[in-house]
Amino acid sequence: MRIERTDLADVLVLEPEPFRDERGLFTRTFDANAFDAFLDAPGFSGGFVQDSQSRSAPGVVRGMHGRAGRGEAKLVRCARGAVHDVLVDIRPSSPSFGRQQSFLLDDKDFRHLYVPPGFLHGFQALTEADVCYRIDRPHDPAEDLGVAHDDPELAIDWPLPVSVISARDASAGSWRALVDRLGD
């Protein structure tokens, strides 16, 4: 498994190395020892407590979501199909605060992201897609944060016309309101 740093502070891309033959392929989607060794943090990966999965039709946008308080760390991968995945750093003291970066996650390269606490996360399904999340904290709806997927200050470049968003995402606040809240 290859692990690389990104332009966003503390965000990592993990890329398994599938074995392919006439039967298809086999890949290890996560290796705790390799992950912990890369971070020089023995036992860190044992902190994940919840696995979740979503299925989305092409054009669907899920996000932009985050967590208040201690935030949450997560591993995100696309198990089937392809998604345009977007992260925005919301840590006021971070050198990459307010910056965003997008990633192609798909079932061809099996690339996935380590997203540390303090990020907004969202994606658009480019095909019918299953996205899997490994999360380090139980979900607490009282800590949910959200910014509209079409917020003009973020100006996220979604590759497809947006086909469907949830009612929750449709009523999400603005980037400016979140920045003001984080400054309190």
The residue from 84, 112, 114, 133 that is catalytic is 133
DSSP class of 180: H
Helical residues (DSSP H) of the chain, grouped into ranges? 32-39, 167-170, 175-183
Could you give the CA distance from residue 165 to residue 49 in angstroms, rounded to a whole number? 27
Residue 114 among the catalytic residues? no
Order of strands across the sheet that contains 119-125: 100-106, 82-89, 119-125, 61-67, 144-146
Could you write out the DSSP letters of every residue in 80-103? ESEEEEEEEE--TTSTTTT-EEEE
Residue 65 among the catalytic residues? yes
- Please give the positions annotated as active site: 65, 133
